[in-house]
Amino acid sequence: MKILLVYPEFPDTFWSFKHALKFVRKKAGSPPLGLLTVAAMLPPEWETKLIDLNVTNLQTEDLIWADYVFISAMVVQRDAVSIVIAQCKQAGAKIVAGGPLFTMEHEQFPDVDHFVLNEAELTLPPFMADLANGCPQPVYTTSEFPDIRQTPAPLWHLADLKQYDTVSVQFSRGCPFNCDFCNITTLLGYRPRTKTAEQIIAELDSLYALGWRKSVFFVDDNFIGNKKQIKTELLPALIEWRKGKTGMRFSTEASINLVDDPVLLKLITQAGFDTVFVGIETPNLDSLTECSKSQNKGRDLVESVKRLQRAGLQVQGGFIVGFDNDPPSIFKLQVDFIQKSGIVTAMVGLLQAPLGTRLYERMKQQGRLVKEFSGDNVDGSTNIIPKMGLDPLREGYRKLLSKIYSPELYYDRVITFLREYHPPKIQFHPDPQYILALGRSIYQLGIRGVERVHYWRLFFWTLFHRPRLFPLAITMAIMGFHFRQVIELHVN
């Protein structure tokens, strides 16, 4: 059996980093973890080939070669998926589809031959059994959640790793919180299920053996969902594993209550984590109550962020405007919070209601759903009718993004962050492309760019005040360039 694994192209979004990746001559952020994991679940005698459309093209001969084309995608890739499906149908290729997009919207894709939905550990085996017996069914789904201690390591060798800036691994699935707008618990459950520390070490060993020395992103929706296991098993294992090794910085996603556990916080940074994405959402208490963001209430959110930064973590933040309880001043409140906190990477989106969330059901009951969920966090769209009115919301949102990603405020925010940040001393593996990126940034941002005055201010401020952080400062300048390109494309 010949299986072609196809990953559709991502649009130019906040998290695509397409404009920043050009500085380091990389084509995409990371290879498709889901498809590489599914590949490891297939019989070893089957032939497999990966086509990631973010780094290469899909040719007709690839489709003719394959007995089946496996497609996985997220909601934001919906349009690209339709293009791939059309190519497959034209070539007469049979399609098997899975992943978050199809799990939520498989009825929207009538040209797909077979859907393997939810988590493949449970739905892929019956599909393969029926396939062997010549009677594969149209849809395979389940309401159960698998034990991911049985999940195999991804087949990294299928991906051309030199095309990527980072690689993803997964320790856990599920989240103990129940935020009103989030569909993670619908897809993956409330009880975090984890792999063993031995599994993660084996995955990292395989990456290290392939020569990977750069960033590794733990894609867990809440890395600290099971605090006991990561404190007593995973983090001590990672700390031990790193001894004598260079490179491999780790990043992840976690809830803000990470800051409440000093022991856990110290272990995370000792294990090599230097970046964490946190869902801040809003500084407005009534809006936090509205969306059931209980873990963010009853605390000084700015100080919580700064404590994470002082501990050695770059905090990337998620923010939302458009809650029913948002006052007219919410846009200014968000700007002030983002600037004071020094959250350089601040993803601000309009409130959207994904299918399966409590917010979706409430908006449906109130007759406030208007169109499909886009899955793009910063495209200025929403699938609900906001209480403050759509035009005021969009105008306030446009001004908010334009302001926080203006060169003046963005570079001010970088310096605010660098004043607080105290990273652990970890030896990293130098990549010549990152050294060359400095020269490219000088030309693109320091000579040609509209931000050149601010670029040079950051350049020399960092050299004189935080020289050890100079590479990070340049990286953040490059990221700011990407963010401005995306915002100009989608919002202005």
Q: Residues 373-402: pLDDT tens digits?
A: 777 767 788 999 999 999 999 999 999 999
Question: Where is 359: in which H helix or E strand?
Answer: helix 358-365
The overall pTM is greater than 0.75:
yes
Q: Where are the alpha helices (DSSP H) in 55-196?
A: 60-65, 78-91, 100-105, 120-132, 184-188
Token code pair at residue 335: 């700007």
Residue 56: CATH number of its domain? 3.40.50.280
Distance of alpha carbon 369 from alpha carbon 199, whole angstroms: 42
Question: Is 149 part of any domain?
Answer: no
Tell me, yes or no, whether 201 and 340 share the same domain: yes
pLDDT tens figures, 329-355: 999 999 999 999 999 999 999 999 998
Cα-atom radius of gyration of the chain, to the nearest Å? 22
Say if residue 349 is in the same domain as residue 465.
no
| 351: CB partners within 8 A, 6+ apart | 181, 320, 321, 322, 323, 359, 382, 384, 386
pLDDT of 492 reads 59
**Do 45 and 181 meet the contact criterion of CB atoms below 8 Å apart?**
no
Assess whether 401 and 324 both reside in one domain: yes
Instruction: Give residue-wise pLDDT tens across range 28-59.
Output: 999 999 999 999 999 999 999 999 999 999 99
Give 3-state DSSP helix, strand, coil % of the chain, rounded to 5: 50, 15, 35
Give, in order, the Cα–Cα distances in Å from 427 to each of 245, 274, 423.
8, 13, 12
What is the reported pLDDT for 426? 57
What's the pLDDT score for residue 428? 56
- The domain boundary, picked from 387, 420, 453, lies at 420
Contact 308, 258 (CB under 8 A): yes
Give the residue ranges of the chain where pLDDT is below 50. none
Same domain, residue pair 68 and 22:
yes
Do the Cβ atoms of 217 and 211 come closer than 8 Å?
no
What range defines the domain where residue 439 resides? 432-490
Same domain, 49 and 86: yes
- Angle (CA) 481-484-486 rounded to 5° is 110
Number of domains in the chain: 3
Question: Quick one: pLDDT at residue 185?
Answer: 87
Same domain, 197 and 276: yes
Please, are residues 288 and 296 in contact by the beta-carbon 8 Å criterion? yes
